[in-house]
Structure 1
Amino acid sequence: MRADPMSGDRMSADRMSADPMSVDALIAAAAPGVRPPTVTRRDVVLVTGPWLAGASSVCEILARRLPELQVVEAGALRHGEVATLTVFVASATAPLTPSDRALLERAAAATDAVVAVVTKIDVHRRWREVLEANSAVPVGAGRVIRWVGAAAAPDLGEPRVDELVEAVGVVLADPDLPRRNRLRAWEDRLAAEAGALRRDADGVGRAAAVAALGVERTELLRSARRDRTERAVTLRTGLGAARIELGSLARNRAAALRDELAADAAAVTRRRLAGFEPAARERGHRLLAEVDDAIAARVAEIAAGVGLPVPPAPGEQADGPRCGPPGWRAGGLEGRLMLVLGAGFGLGLALTLSRLLAGLAPGLAVAGAVLAALAGAAASGWVVAGRRLLRDRAMLTGWSATLAAAVRACADQRIAAGLLAAEAWLTRELARDEDERAAATAAALADVVAGLRQHALAGARATALAERRLPDLQAALVLVRAELCRAAGAPEESAAGAAAESAAGATESTAVDEMWRTESFM
């Protein structure tokens, strides 16, 4: 049900009696369903004002001058309690500031009876100019505030509060005061409820939440794409770097093994010839084991870099390097030539010694010949054995190079096979992990979309509620303000102006942005 904003001027005087309950009935008829104000009206005089304005002094002097009244400061009222009369204290230092005006509006939001006082007029000569400027400040529709000057606690002389005491008495003696206060409480209630509906419908606070959800959605998608790309690139580059590093390691270690074996072969003795091959093969196996450990460590680093578990260890490796035994050759042309040279050297030494001994001791020619033959045979054996050892050393040196090459080939094969197996396993695990992360991202996106839809639904519900309830609230608010203007004794033009101003303010746009209805969140 809507009420005509100007219907109040046609109401009978008995309907607009001083009974506050008639106000509730009037508003209930204009806006059915609106809850009445929940404030508790206390029969006290509230004294409040900005800091250092002198509110405490005014409260104290009023309590002494008006002992029949209960005069309190703001801290004496509990939440939900309002005073019958509000005395607002402002300093004569300067006119009201925006913060002072806001304090006055809050203090008198549910109370129509307000007396404003400019204090400290004993020390500020221009207090009348300040009072005149403050009197021109509008504070609510239909509110008539009487401004007076006072000196509640002067430095010299008696307090000057007679005009203030008189103004308080006049306001409290008004028989229409309860109804005016009730109308003002209704205005505060209706304005607050209408403002809440408008803010809710306009999406105040909801737009920021939607923007935050949109940022979260964008960040989720960007993070998912970035992580997927970064992990794939990290895996590829890690495996490529591992191939280079492990290949270099195998090459350097094989070259070191070849040099070490060549040095050992050049110094091997005949007694150590038989043990050279097993020892060399064992060193090759140790090198391959070190390469396997390096492969496992590098693969573990790569897996940790992409956030995956370490791949399982490969099974038993194939046999070691494929290298045959050293080529021991007992005969052949080289052996026969070595025997001939050794025999020739021994024969020459025997003949030389036999002639030498025969010349020195002719009687011992036979014994000298035997001794020379033995020495020639020993020298021939020594030459043949030494030449054979040098041949074996040369052969072992060549075989060491062959073994080192075979070890390197085997290491390269193990590196390639190990990294290939690790790449296959890590690629499968990365794909599985990406699927899990994609599912988690999808769930998070679903939550974000659900939140956006909830905000959209909340906006639609708030708009529908505002469209349904605001007209009644606006009509009731216009009616209340028009009644306040008439109760304050404003002329008909002022009442009509207040009603028109209220209607204009009440018809502000309450529709939410089309984004709530049309934007797709997917």
Structure 2
Amino acid sequence: MTRALTDLPAETVDVVARWNPTAAARLASGPEFRHELFVAGPRRAGKSRLIDGLRELDASAFDFVDDPLDAGVVLMVLDAAAPLGREELSVLDVVTRPACPVVFALTKIDVHRDWATVRERDRALLAGHAERFADVTIHAVAAGLRGAPTRESGVEALLAALLSAADGQTREARSGTERVLEQTRRMIVATGRSIRETEAGADLRAERARLLAHRDGQRAERVARLRSQVQLGKVELMHEVSSRIRAAGAAVRADIDRAGRTELADYPDRLADVVKKLSADLDGVVTTRLDHLRARAGVAASDAPGTVPPPDSTVPGRPEPRHRGLEDRMTILIGASAGLGLGRLVVTPLSVVPALDIASIPLTLTLGGGVAWWLARARGHIAERSHMRQWATESLTTVRAQWEQLVLGRLLSAEAQISEMILAESRSRAGEVDSRVAQIDGELRGLTARRNGQLAACDRDLAAIDRGLREISDARREPKHLPERQST
């Protein structure tokens, strides 16, 4: 006993209408038993011409399907050019089922004269391949004939064999409704498998992992890199300060060695101007270095907080007056002695003349005093130069300390400012990442809920199809009510 689709539960009919509307419409528009045919065979075996010939004979005899699992009968097409081989046997194994009848057709007999020998060879090979094909019949067909198929072409005999096999399959096996239900079931199972195998939200999970890996904007790496750059800048700037102080000291000593008394008196002001100019140059070098430091730290110089201009490095006051000591007195004494000796040497010729002997005494004293004065003055100038040189060296040492303090202070201030900016950027980045991660989590939950809903819907539809199949199976197993034997 078979059942129509409309006799099944309403939920089963609804599932079939949603998943397989074409088959449902076919069952609703025609009789329940429909012959579904699948045509298989190797390439260039004449399948298309054979299908056209069958349709010309009876267009409504079969529904040609694309899936062998939906077919009630399989037509295996063989080529008369040569006996079948591995390709034909592999195709046959794929498209046939144990309960599905198979009808064999040998095409192109109008082209190849030894087709009868090929058919016998094919029959022997099929018998050796499977026991079910031991007594198989291979129908010879001239599918290449032009015009409508005739009795001589063998298409009519093939059609009759296909109809006979289809009718027997319909009576002994499944109804068209059952085939539609199984076809719909395969579609639902394939869709559920595809949903399970497809990982929903893979791109979102990858984005989420990438965002969490760099949530703080690589704050630790940037801070560590900043510290190393600060240490490198400290070494370079200290070297720059030392080289500038050495160059200034050499220039100052050379200037003092060539300076006269007037130049020595004005040299503190000149040294202050030199130090001021060098301080301005050094400030430019430090500023350039700090800009490079900000750029390497990923912080724009225009975004950095304004810094207070550094104080000018000045010379610490003027030198104290040089105190005259024992050396100056000894210089005067030595100068006077040398002057007197030189005066006596000069006036010695005058002592020959008695009248000029008395005049030589004041002349000797005058010359001695003059030489003593000059020697004392020269000794004082040399001492002033030495005093100024010592003062300049001490002043440059003080200026160097001021420059080093200035450089270290600006470096530490810049490091603190850049660190604060990195922390602010990290906090902002972390907030943006947390917001995006929360959004991704919401999307993933939505995808998971949608996926679970789709799987649950597939399970419900499978359960409805299975209930319909069980009802068909139960109806087939119901005993036929035979008329009771009348007792006489």
TM-score by length of structure 2 reads 0.69
CA deviation string 1:440-490 (max 9, x = no partner):
22112212322332233224323432343321023335678999xx9xxxx
2:341 aligns with: 348
2:63 aligns with: 84
- Report the AA paired with residue 238 of structure 1: Q
CA deviation string 1:370-404 (max 9, x = no partner):
98777666644543343222212212221221122
1:116 equivalent to 2:79? Answer: no
1:153 & 1:378 partners in 2: Cα distance?
151
1:161 aligns with: 141
CA deviation string 1:124-147 (max 9, x = no partner):
3x55x9867765656468543323
Check the 8 A contact 1:110/1:186 in 2, yes or no: no
1:432 aligns with: 424
2:238 aligns with: 247
1:228 aligns with: 219
Query: Where do residues 297-312 of structure 1 align in structure 2 (5 Å cutoff)?
Result: 297-310=288-301, 311-312=304-305
1:288 equivalent to 2:288? Answer: no
1:277 aligns with: 268
Query: Where do residues 470-489 of structure 1 align in structure 2 (5 Å cutoff)?
Result: 470-476=462-468
Work out which of the residue numbers 189, 196, 220 in structure 1 matches 2:184: 189
- Report the AA paired with residue 279 of structure 2: L
Check the 8 A contact 2:41/2:77 in 1, yes or no: no
Query: Where do residues 21-36 of structure 1 align in structure 2 (5 Å cutoff)?
Result: 23-26=4-7, 29=10, 31-36=12-17
2:386 aligns with: 394
1:315 aligned counterpart, secondary structure? coil
2:78 aligned counterpart, secondary structure? strand
RMSD between aligned residues:
4.5
Work out which of the residue numbers 43, 46, 54 in structure 1 matches 2:44: 54
Q: Give the superposition deviation at 1:254.
A: 2.2
Work out which of the residue numbers 319, 322, 346 in structure 2 matches 1:326: 319
2:385 & 2:295 partners in 1: Cα distance?
49
Higher alpha-carbon Rg: 2
2:240 & 2:363 partners in 1: Cα distance?
61
Check the 8 A contact 1:112/1:180 in 2, yes or no: no
- Report the AA paired with residue 379 of structure 2: R
Check the 8 A contact 2:47/2:77 in 1, yes or no: no
Check the 8 A contact 2:41/2:47 in 1, yes or no: no
1:257 equivalent to 2:248? Answer: yes
CA deviation string 1:348-387 (max 9, x = no partner):
333322224666x999889998987776666445433432
Unpaired runs of at least 5, structure 2: 27-34, 117-139, 143-152, 478-488
CA deviation string 1:409-447 (max 9, x = no partner):
101211232123223322322222221011022112212
1:274 & 1:153 partners in 2: Cα distance?
132
- Report the AA paired with residue 183 of structure 2: D
Compared CA separation, residues 85 and 180, structure 1 to 2 (3 A): farther
1:206 & 1:214 partners in 2: Cα distance?
10
CA deviation string 1:20-73 (max 9, x = no partner):
xxx5424564703224334498x99997756xx215x4434665x6683699xx
Moved more, 160-169 or 436-445: 160-169
CA deviation string 1:320-356 (max 9, x = no partner):
2452223443856554544444444334333322224
2:56 aligns with: 68
Check the 8 A contact 1:357/1:365 in 2, yes or no: yes
- Report the AA paired with residue 15 of structure 2: V
- Report the AA paired with residue 254 of structure 1: I
1:145 equivalent to 2:102? Answer: yes
1:420 equivalent to 2:417? Answer: no
- Report the AA paired with residue 77 of structure 2: V
Q: Give the superposition deviation at 1:284.
A: 2.3
2:105 aligned counterpart, secondary structure? strand
Q: Give the superposition deviation at 1:303.
A: 2.6
1:320 aligned counterpart, secondary structure? coil
1:188 & 1:204 partners in 2: Cα distance?
21
Q: Give the superposition deviation at 1:193.
A: 2.7
1:346 & 1:70 partners in 2: Cα distance?
155
Moved more, 263-272 or 397-406: 263-272
1:340 & 1:332 partners in 2: Cα distance?
13
1:153 & 1:246 partners in 2: Cα distance?
101
CA deviation string 1:61-86 (max 9, x = no partner):
665x6683699xxxxxxxxxxx8336
Compared CA separation, residues 196 and 329, structure 1 to 2 (3 A): same
1:94 aligns with: none
1:101 aligns with: none
Q: Give the superposition deviation at 1:251.
A: 3.0
CA deviation string 1:239-290 (max 9, x = no partner):
3333333333323432333233223323334453345333332332333334
1:133 & 1:438 partners in 2: Cα distance?
61
1:425 aligned counterpart, secondary structure? helix
2:438 & 2:181 partners in 1: Cα distance?
45
1:476 & 1:376 partners in 2: Cα distance?
147
2:64 aligned counterpart, secondary structure? strand
- Report the AA paired with residue 413 of structure 2: A
TM-score by length of structure 1 reads 0.65
2:119 aligns with: none
Q: In percent, how many aligned pairs have the same letter? A: 22
Check the 8 A contact 1:321/1:407 in 2, yes or no: yes
Unpaired runs of at least 5, structure 1: 1-8, 17-22, 72-82, 87-105, 487-491, 493-522
1:384 aligns with: 376
Check the 8 A contact 2:109/2:141 in 1, yes or no: yes
2:221 & 2:232 partners in 1: Cα distance?
16
2:423 aligned counterpart, secondary structure? helix
1:80 aligns with: none
1:217 & 1:394 partners in 2: Cα distance?
75
1:150 & 1:224 partners in 2: Cα distance?
70
- Report the AA paired with residue 231 of structure 1: R
2:39 & 2:419 partners in 1: Cα distance?
78
Compared CA separation, residues 32 and 183, structure 1 to 2 (3 A): closer
